[in-house]
Amino acid sequence: MNFKIGLDLGSTAIKMVVLNGEEVVNRKHVPTAPGQEVRAQKLIDEALAELGISQNHIHGIVSTGYGKKLFMGANKHIDEITANALGLFKSNNGEACTIINIGGQDLKVLTLSDTGQVVDFKMNDKCAAGTGRFFELVARLLDTPIEDFEHLSRFAETELELNSTCVVFAESEIVSLLAKGESKDSIIKGLHSSVARRAAGLMGHMLLQGQGVIYLDGGPAQNKGLVEAMEDELLCEVKVLPYPQFTVAYGAALALDL
Ligand code: ADP
């Protein structure tokens, strides 16, 4: 038994995976809130109880994400770009690829070489448009859970253009659309296209260089409506791993042995 833990203390959610060797044997997440260390430790305690093991069986813990230094129990911490690259490269059987990561408050694009090195990287963290926060805002405005966006976007008869490049203006744009009687479905479809355009814009020349297949990860990658909008925008297949919100935590755990 070679148990190790990866902890991704993100802006929106704390994600934890337990590995036995390289196999994920437990994963959990909880929203980010004050008291992150206690919340993260609770995830670990619950996982250990479910696995029937104690903290003594754990060889080490690696933390990553915005709050990585808040977890004092970590043996080491690494940046989230390295963790994302490690997790996805391993899952992609060690082949070159491009990763679009949408987190709670940023949008990143990473290009990995066939040795897993990050050879190109871009990030948009100046504005919430194109991030998980944008989805949360629209969910509140439409009084609809994010989990329903995928399903609802499929019912859209029309796709509305969301043109605002800033979340503050997008909020008024959506309120106006609702006031005009536009459907939630069409607004959500428009949101997916707007986020896909942002990601494609950020990719720019990286897309032209075309490193391997393209993956979408981070919490919003669970929304297949968004994935389809990305494919329409990029005109190629966009892959999503099972549990895309956990790739970074997985990569952190793998980093223990490096
Ligand atoms: P961070 O690492 O910055 O905390 P995550 O990768 O955990 O970010 O992504 C958080 C975002 O994921 C949330 O802001 C939300 O928009 C989105 N999200 C979470 N759960 C789901 C879901 N089931 N379906 C679609 N989107 C989701």
For residue 55, the tally of other CB atoms under 10 A from its CB is 13
Q: 6 in ligand 1 pocket by Cβ < 6 Å?
A: no
Where b means 16+ CB within 10 Å and e means fewer, 110-122 reads bbbbeebeeeeee
Residue nearest to atom 18 of ligand 1 (CA): 219
Q: 244 in ligand 1 pocket by Cβ < 6 Å?
A: no
Digit-coded pLDDT (tens) for 102-132: 999 999 999 999 999 999 999 987 788 889 9
Radius of gyration (C-alpha) of the chain in whole angstroms: 19
Q: 67 in ligand 1 pocket by Cβ < 6 Å?
A: no
Is the pLDDT at 209 greater than 60? The verdict is: no
Is the pLDDT at 161 greater than 90? The verdict is: no
Mean pLDDT of the region 161-174: 84
Question: What confidence tier does 207 reach under pLDDT thresholds 50, 70, 90?
Answer: low
Is the pLDDT at 194 greater than 90? The verdict is: yes
Q: 87 in ligand 1 pocket by Cβ < 6 Å?
A: no
Displacement of CA 163 from its chain's centroid (Å): 24
Give the pLDDT confidence score for residue 208 in this predicted structure.
54
| Nearest ligand 1 atom, CA 133 | 14
Q: 144 in ligand 1 pocket by Cβ < 6 Å?
A: no
Question: What confidence tier does 11 reach under pLDDT thresholds 50, 70, 90?
Answer: very high
How far, in Å, is the centroid of ligand 1 from the Cα of 200? 19
* CATH topology classification for 3-82+247-257: Nucleotidyltransferase; domain 5 (3.30.420)
Is the pLDDT at 3 greater than 60? The verdict is: yes
How far, in Å, is the centroid of ligand 1 from the Cα of 86? 20
Q: Which residue has the tokens 């337990």?
A: 18
Mutation probe of ligand 1 site: the residue of 16, 32, 146 with most atoms within 8 A of C-beta: 146
Question: What confidence tier does 17 reach under pLDDT thresholds 50, 70, 90?
Answer: very high
The angle at the Cα of 128, spanning 204 to 237, to the nearest 5 degrees, equals 40
Q: Do domains 3-82+247-257 and 94-240 have the same CATH topology?
A: yes
Average pLDDT, the chain: 94
Integer Cα distance of 96 and 83 in angstroms: 16
Q: 247 in ligand 1 pocket by Cβ < 6 Å?
A: no
Beta bridge partners of 214: 98, 238
What are the sequence ranges of the domains in the chain?
A: 3-82+247-257, 94-240
Is the pLDDT at 137 greater than 90? The verdict is: yes
Is the pLDDT at 205 greater than 80? The verdict is: no
- Which CATH superfamily is 94-240 part of? ATPase, nucleotide binding domain (3.30.420.40)
Integer Cα distance of 187 and 116 in angstroms: 38
Q: Where does 107-147 show beta strands of DSSP type E? A: 107-112, 118-124
Integer Cα distance of 95 and 115 in angstroms: 7
Question: What confidence tier does 1 reach under pLDDT thresholds 50, 70, 90?
Answer: confident
How far, in Å, is the centroid of ligand 1 from the Cα of 223? 10
Is the pLDDT at 236 greater than 60? The verdict is: yes
Question: What confidence tier does 136 reach under pLDDT thresholds 50, 70, 90?
Answer: very high
Q: Could you give the percent of the chain with pLDDT greater than 70?
A: 97
How far, in Å, is the centroid of ligand 1 from the Cα of 243? 11
Is the pLDDT at 235 greater than 70? The verdict is: yes
